[in-house]
Amino acid sequence: MAQDDIDPDGSHPAVYTAQGEDAWLPSELSRGPWDPRAQHGGAPCALLAYVAERAAPGPGWQLARLTTELVKPVPVAPLTTRAQVQASRSTVRVGIDLLAGEVLVARANVLLLLAQQQLALPPDLPGWPRRQMLPLPRDCKEPVRIPGLPRGVSFYGTAMETRVAEGDAARPGPCGAWFRLAVPLLHGAATSPAMRAAAAADFGNGLSWVLPAERYLFTNADMSMNLFRVPQGEWIGVSSVTEAHGAGAGLVVSHLYDESGPIGLATQTLVLRERRPEA
């Protein structure tokens, strides 16, 4: 299938459409900022969360960890998944390969936990010092705009609705924002809380950029997300900070929230490179 045949009129109703049991057709709503032929990392991360949750042996399981290795740029082209499942009484571990043709482009390791009936925990347990990212999305108006990134139909600019909560996404440094999927992730399927969180968690490196995108690439080679509770509602808060080093590596740490408080943590390993001058 030619690139222009993926979604020629920009009217695709979702980021992906299933093409059978383990095959997926992305629309241009999956596109990322670095190359129009490649997907934003949040799109395949959310898809892999869907595949993992689908592999659970029954109801009552919650996604506690998703680690995605972004082996190659994930193309805006037909994809397939292969999953292996190991289950015990209280955990399910799912390994998933994401392929374009026969080429491995991403690999995920996912941990699902069997949800318990409400435990009788002691009151006022210690936790994270900051219990919420404020303002809440209903009180935020400014969308995330990162200098140097192209405009147009994309995952980050079209599929996601964004609202800056803290800091300034137009300036380098720590920043926090609320993210909401504005379209279905998978046509005809419900978007689960874990899928919403995975889609948002991959935005940390763009949100808390420290290097100008006009001069540098700061792509993430992976994304690891841990959730200690199921997110509630459509909005996911991401509060991120980036560390960069001259040897070419960087690290992003993102605290994740919903409108009720903390839900987890995400990290990204960055590959830092200077952009090649255009001929």
DSSP assignment of 113-178, as one string?
A: EEPPSPP-PPSS----S----SS-GGG--PPP--TT---SS-IIIIIEEEEEEES-TTSSS-EEEE
Our count of domains for the chain comes to 1
23 located within any domain:
yes
* Calpha distance 103→93 (Å, rounded): 23
pTM for the model: 0.92
pLDDT digits 0-9 by tens, 83-122: 999 999 999 999 999 999 999 999 999 999 999 877 788 8
- HEC assignment per residue over 235-258: CEEEEEEEEECCCCEEEEEEEEEE
- Residue 179 sits in which domain range? 13-115+134-274
Q: Which two tokens stand for residue 161?
A: 């609705």
2 located within any domain:
no
For strand 236-244 and strand 249-258, is the pairing parallel, antiparallel, or unpaired? antiparallel
Q: Which amino acid is at 94?
A: V
pLDDT band at 279 (very low <50, low <70, confident <90, very high): very low
Q: Which two tokens stand for residue 101?
A: 């043709």
pLDDT band at 68 (very low <50, low <70, confident <90, very high): very high
What pLDDT does residue 160 have? 97
What pLDDT does residue 120 have? 81
51 located within any domain:
yes
pLDDT band at 1 (very low <50, low <70, confident <90, very high): very low
Q: In b/e form, how buried is each residue of 125-137, taking b as 16+ CB within 10 angstroms?
A: eeeeeeeebeebb
What pLDDT does residue 33 have? 86
92 located within any domain:
yes
For strand 103-114 and strand 222-227, is the pairing parallel, antiparallel, or unpaired? unpaired
Q: What is the CA angle 91-235-52, rounded to 5?
A: 25
Q: Which helix (H) or strand (E) holds 49?
A: helix 42-54
Asked if 174 contacts 231 with a C-beta cutoff of 8 angstroms, the reply is: no
Average pLDDT (243-265) is 97
183 located within any domain:
yes
Residue at token pair 């997907």: 39
Of the listed ranges 11-20, 119-128, 184-193, the least confidently predicted one is 119-128
* Cα–Cα distances in angstroms (integers) from residue 194 to residues 5, 51, 74, 129, 219, in the given order: 30, 11, 21, 24, 23
127 located within any domain:
no
Average pLDDT (207-222) is 94
What pLDDT does residue 278 have? 64
CATH code for the domain in which residue 167 is found: 2.40.160.210
* Calpha distance 66→263 (Å, rounded): 14
4 located within any domain:
no
226 located within any domain:
yes
